[in-house]
Amino acid sequence: MFGRKVNNTRVFRVTTKIVLAFTLFILLSNLASNYVNLLFNRSEMLSLMNQLLIKDLKAMYMYCNNQYEIYRFDRNLEESVKSIESKGLNEIKNEKAVVLGIKRDGGIHFQASKIKKYERFNDVIALNAMISHVKGDQSEGSEGHLNFYFNNEEYFGLFKYNPKWDIFILRGEEKNEFFSESRLIFIQVSIIILIITAVSAVVGIFILRRILKFIDVITKSIMDMIHKKELSLINLDGATNDDVTYMGVAFNSLSSTVGNLVNIFQKFANQDIVRKAYNEREVKLEGTKRELTILFSDIKSFTFITETLGNDIIKLLNMHYDRAIREIIKYDGVIGSIIGDALLAVYGALDDARENKSFQAVLSAYKLHEVTELLRLRMDKIKTEIEDEKGKLTKDELHVYKAVLLEIGVGIDGGSVFYGTLGSYVRMTNTVIGDNVNAASRLEGLTRVYKAPVICSEYVKNDIETNVDKHGIYFLEIDRVMVKGKTKAQNIYWPVLESEIDERFRKDLTAFELGLELYYAGKWADARKRFAKCSLKVADVFKERTSERCPSNWDGVWQMTSK
């Protein structure tokens, strides 16, 4: 009835406003009409009362003259006054009506009424007004209308001067009493008007709600959209062909257009930017220093793939990125950039992230490998189908087959970086800047050296082990390296999913860790024997290194000469 609150602002229903407005207008107009009718009725009543008062006054005037003649005969003033008062009482009906005989000095000669007796008439103004009508010899029959106060109440009436008794005969009616019946009728009619108006308002609400039903539907739908912060279409099934329906149709058309634009915008911008744009209605050129985890993925042998596939490289990349990006978003990651074969993802940027940022990044890394593995399996199936049909692949087809067998490397690092929008208000992009971003790229490059699917930094290892219970990840230390462009060595790790570790795998891990310990200590010959017992590809590079003598200045750090 009274609407609902939206952001501390009450939104009133149009139906309520219309009904209240029309009810108020109808009520005021009817009451005003009733009041005007009352005034006209009172005017007519006064006119009729004046005629009755004139008649009563004439009768009293004649009766007073007769009683004066009787008084002159028997000189019994008391009996004459009583007779006049008795006559006056017969002429009046209302409880407060009066017939007065008033002397020039204000004394009361007689009083015919049902109220208490008074000796004086105290309304000096009214008395002077009556006296002013008496002028010399023309005084007989002087009369007029008069409003006066008597018995502490307001009266109206007529007076006539009687020269025989030298008094003013005053016939009066108390105003409130005289108008009481008309007031009662006014109140009764007003109550009827209120009842009729209330019934009409209820009926009006019902009718208007039927007519304006889809205003409520449109308003409720829009409020729900505001609450959910998403655009949708308004259900207009059963709507009549009017301007309200047209408004709903126009909104649906606008909603579809805006929805399409938002969908397009979401595909070119990250979730956090879209949410910020929706909530703040703008995107500013600004950034903040934040603790984030960076994932960098790159496709191996991309030059060969490009040369082999030509323009079809776009189709292959889209097949790969379509599933890869879905997995990243599923784990609360946002896309920092896509540059050909390289993809940068950021974790921890979303305020409503469900898990630890580094943990999500590691899980995403293995999902990216699953995506490429599924793509390779699909290509193997196609190759098998062609071979079954043709016998074998041609040389060109074999080149294409090798090109589409995508392999990726993933590097993960984290720390304090600058994250925000960069560019101009004409064209801007969302980006992340910091040493850790470059470090993630270097770690991805190391996957080619160490033949590990995923390599992460010590930051990622510590973040997960400190903040995630039962994370199910075994961090195998691979090496201590100094990447090109850096002056500080860092430990690098292969985050192995414990669900993938069987007995054979565990023995290989143990052998590798023992070999790495001897490797750090400079006992390369002994380390090589340990690495020889490890079947993991990550041990191959150490088998090659330890085949030579350990450098005399060995400090356990391997210097990388390329990115």
Residue 281, Ramachandran bin (φ over 0: left; ψ between -120 and 50: alpha; else beta): left
Work out whether strand 490-497 and strand 9-11 pair parallel, antiparallel, or are unpaired.
Answer: unpaired
pLDDT band, very low/low/confident/very high, at 49 (cuts 50, 70, 90) = confident
Q: Tokens in use for 127? A: 């008395």
CATH of the domain at 62: 3.30.450
pLDDT of 139 strictly over 60? no
β-strands 473-482, 153-162: how paired? unpaired
Q: What is the pLDDT of residues 141-158, one digit of tens each?
A: 578 888 999 999 999 889
Phi-psi region of 394 (alpha: psi -120 to 50; beta: other; left: phi over 0): beta
Whether 236 is covered by a domain: the verdict is no
Q: What is the dihedral of CA 36, 37, 39, 41, to 10 degrees?
A: 170
Is residue 20 in some structural domain? Answer: yes
pLDDT tens digits along 508-561 = 999 999 999 999 999 999 999 999 999 999 999 999 999 999 998 899 999 877
In which band, very low, low, confident or very high, does the pLDDT at 15 lie, cut at 50, 70 and 90? low
pLDDT at 366: 95
CA distance 41 to 19: 32
pLDDT given for residue 154 in this prediction: 93
Two tokens, residue 96: 């407060």
Highest mean pLDDT among 168-177, 318-327, 386-395, 448-457: 448-457
Using alpha carbons, select from 409, 375, 382 the residue that is nearest to residue 398: 382
Residue 279 falls within a domain, yes or no? no
Q: Quick one: what percent of the chain has pLDDT higher than 70? A: 85
pLDDT value of position 392: 81
For residues 43 and 38, what is the distance between their CA atoms, to the nearest angstrom?
Answer: 9
CA distances from 110 to 70, 101, 162 (A): 16, 5, 13
| pTM for the structure as a whole | 0.60
Query: Does the residue 1 lie in any domain?
Result: no
- List the structure tokens of 291: 């603790």
Q: How many structural domains is the chain composed of?
A: 2
383 shares its domain with 516: yes
Average pLDDT of the segment spanning 309-336: 88
Average pLDDT score over the chain: 84
The pLDDT assigned to 429 comes to 72
pLDDT at position 55, please? 86
Kindly state whether residue 339 falls inside one of the protein's structural domains: yes
**Cα separation, 514 vs 491, whole angstroms:** 16
What pLDDT does residue 185 have?
79
pLDDT at 238 over 80: no
Distance in angstroms (rounded) separating the CA atoms of residues 384 and 315: 21
Do 155 and 297 share a domain, yes or no?
no
Same domain? For 371 and 503 the reply is yes
More confident call, 462 vs 4: 462
* 545 assigned to some structural domain: yes
More confident position, 239 or 65: 65
Q: Give me the helix-helix angle, 213-228 and 175-211, nearest 10°.
A: 70
- Residue 17: predicted pLDDT: 64
322 and 470 part of one domain: yes
Long-range contacts of 183-191 (CB under 8 A, 24+ apart): 185/38, 186/34, 186/35, 186/38, 189/34, 190/31, 190/34
Specify whether 177 is located in the same domain as 291: no
pLDDT recorded at residue 194: 83
Given 182, 200, 231, which residue is the final one in a domain? Answer: 182
Predicted pLDDT at 409: 93
pLDDT over threshold 90, residue 8: no
Instruction: Evaluate if residue 170 carries a pLDDT over 60.
Output: yes
Q: Residue 376: is its pLDDT beyond 90?
A: no
Q: Is the pLDDT of residue 352 over 80?
A: no
Looking at the chain, the whole-number percentage of residues with pLDDT higher than 90 is 38
Residue 23 predicted with pLDDT over 60: yes
Torsion angle, alpha carbons of 353, 358, 360, 361, to 10: 120
pLDDT at 285: 59
Residue 43 sits in the same domain as residue 166: yes
Give 273-293 pLDDT, tens digit per residue: 666 655 555 566 566 788 999
Range of 146's domain?
14-182
User: Considering only 32-36, 383-387, 471-475, which range has the smallest mean pLDDT?
Assistant: 32-36
Same domain membership, residue 532 and residue 409 = yes
Structure tokens at 260: 């399409």
Secondary structure (3-state) at 432: strand
Of 182, 209, 228, the domain-final residue? 182
CATH of the domain at 380: 3.30.70.1230
Tell whether 388 and 508 lie within a shared domain.
yes
Mean pLDDT value of segment 218-239: 74
pLDDT band at 316 (very low <50, low <70, confident <90, very high): confident
Question: Is residue 136 scored above 60 in pLDDT?
Answer: no
At 375, list the tokens: 């793509």
Is 272 a member of any domain? no
Most confident stretch, 28-42, 56-70, 231-245, 276-290: 56-70
Convert the pLDDT of each residue in 457-508 to its tens digit.
Answer: 999 999 999 999 999 999 999 999 987 766 788 999 999 999 999 999 999 9
* Domain closes at, from 147, 182, 217: 182
Q: What's the rounded Cα separation, in Å, for the pair 482 and 558?
A: 6
Q: Which of 106-115, 262-271, 330-339, 462-471 has the lowest mean pLDDT?
A: 262-271
Q: Mean pLDDT over residues 389-415, rounded? A: 85
- Is 218 domain-assigned? no
Average pLDDT over residues 398-415: 88
